[in-house]
Amino acid sequence: MQARTRSFYEEAIGHFERALTLDPLSVEAQGRLANELVGRVMDNLTNSATADIERADELSRQALAASPRSPYAHLAKAQVLRAQGRCEEAIPEYETVIALNRNWANAISQLGQCKFLTGSLEEAIALVEQAIRLSPRDPIIANWYRRIGTIHLLQSRNEEAILWLEKSRSANAAAPSSHAWLASAYALKRDLERAAASLAEARRLSSDDRYSSIARLNTVGYSGPGYWGVPKIRALFETTYFAGLRLAGMPEE
């Protein structure tokens, strides 16, 4: 199992770029390239987020125009919509992918993430757990562990949150978001030494300065620029995640 790191994304994107050079009309290559471009944006492992999303959007449009029933094309479109903070629109795209391939674990997990951001917390956990059962050695399993930990944290189940977030960190220590979530969770448990160390690691690993302040993190958003989900989910972020980050030492500005 290879975790998603900067070098992983660079290598994968390079392979799919070469595939498109050999066959510019390959719908699978277009869809898979778009998925990797968006993936590194959402994993905070790119220095060109806007360009990556724009390229992925273009590729998804080309793929859908050429093959309207391609699961790769629909997944690419769904991923772009989610990265733009348009989860309500992304949900039917993910559902189309699953209808075409009911065992596609990544699509199931991403549907769960959109369900979470639109307010269906327990449904979201069930979907991500389903993805884990389908693909227990998946290269992006760290993301799935983190998503479950996130939902537990937002519902103030801190012990369960830490359990899942530590699993996420162990599965991919290079992902800055797991460290940031752990910083919040540790702080809410009043383990401020671990919280400060986790926040420092998140800052070191981040490709931008999103963990420099609450204001900056609000600007960047959780799923798309400035987007933190529907109002009730945004409120939970404020009372748990942001509260913990403040305790861990993150300044307002």
| 42-98 residue pLDDT tens | 887 888 989 999 999 999 999 999 999 999 999 999 999 999 989 999 999 999 999
Question: How high is the pLDDT of residue 217?
Answer: 96
Integer Cα distance of 245 and 249 in angstroms? 6
Joined together, the tokens standing for residue 102 give: 């009911």
- How does the average pLDDT of the chain come out, rounded? 95
Mean pLDDT of 235-240: 98
Q: Which of 56, 57, 18, 8 is nearest to 172 (CA)?
A: 8
Residue 4 predicted with pLDDT over 80: no
pLDDT of residue 42: 85
> Taking CA 184 as the corner, what is the angle to CA 6 and CA 221, rounded to the nearest 5 degrees?
55
Lookup: tokens for 203: 């800052």
Average pLDDT, integer, range 232-243: 97
What CA–CA distance (Å, rounded) separates 24 from 150? 39
Residue 92: helix, strand or coil by DSSP?
helix
| pLDDT value of position 242 | 98
Is pLDDT above 70 for 1? Answer: no
pLDDT of residue 2: 62
- Topology of the domain comprising 109-253: 1.25.40
The class of domain 1-102 in CATH terms is mainly alpha
Structure tokens at 110: 């991403």
Is residue 207 classed as helix, strand or coil in its secondary structure?
coil
> Considering the chain, what percentage of its residues have pLDDT values greater than 90?
88
Say if CB 129 and CB 98 are below 8 A apart: no
Q: Which residue has tokens 């800052």?
A: 203
As a whole number, mean pLDDT of residues 141-166 equals 97
Residue 46, Ramachandran bin (φ over 0: left; ψ between -120 and 50: alpha; else beta): beta
**What's the whole-model pTM score?**
0.90
pLDDT at 224: 79
What is the per-residue pLDDT for 3? 67
Q: pLDDT tens digits for 21-55?
A: 999 999 999 999 999 999 999 887 888 989 999 99
Helices 105-117 and 71-83, axial angle in degrees (round to 10): 30
- Roughly how many angstroms between the first and final C-alpha of the chain, as a whole number? 39
pLDDT category of residue 211 using cuts at 50, 70 and 90 = very high
Q: CA nearest 222: which of 239, 244, 238, 246?
A: 238
> pLDDT exceeding 70 applies to what percent of the chain?
99
Please say if the pLDDT value at position 162 is more than 70.
yes
- With a cut of 70, say whether residue 106 has pLDDT above it: yes
- Please state, in angstroms and rounded to a whole number, the distance separating the CA atoms of residues 242 and 217: 9
Closest CA to 248 of 211, 205, 193, 201: 193
214-230, pLDDT tens digit by residue? 999 999 889 877 899 99
Tokens of 238: 């404020």
Domain edges within the chain: 1-102, 109-253
8 A C-beta contact, residue 34 and residue 59: yes
Q: Do domains 1-102 and 109-253 have the same CATH topology?
A: yes
